[in-house]
Amino acid sequence: MKTITAKEFDEKFDKGEDIAEYLDFSTAIRLKDVKKLKTETKKVNVDFPEWIIESLDKEAKKIGVTRQSIIKVWIAERLKAETGHLQAS
- Domain harbouring 44, CATH code: 1.10.1220
Do residues 88 and 58 share a domain?
yes
Do residues 57 and 85 share a domain?
yes
Contact of 66 with 60, CB cutoff 8 Å = yes
CA distance 69 to 75: 10
Domain range enclosing 66: 38-89
Q: What is the dihedral of CA 10, 15, 21, 27, to 10 degrees?
A: 50
Per-residue pLDDT of the chain in tens (89 residues, 90 and over written 9)? 778 899 899 999 999 999 989 888 888 777 666 666 666 788 899 999 999 999 999 999 998 999 999 999 999 899 888 887 655 44
Do residues 53 and 81 share a domain?
yes
Of 41, 3, 46, 43, nearest to 22 by C-alpha is: 3
CA distance 1 to 59: 33
Number of domains making up the chain:
2
Do residues 32 and 67 share a domain?
no
Do residues 51 and 78 share a domain?
yes
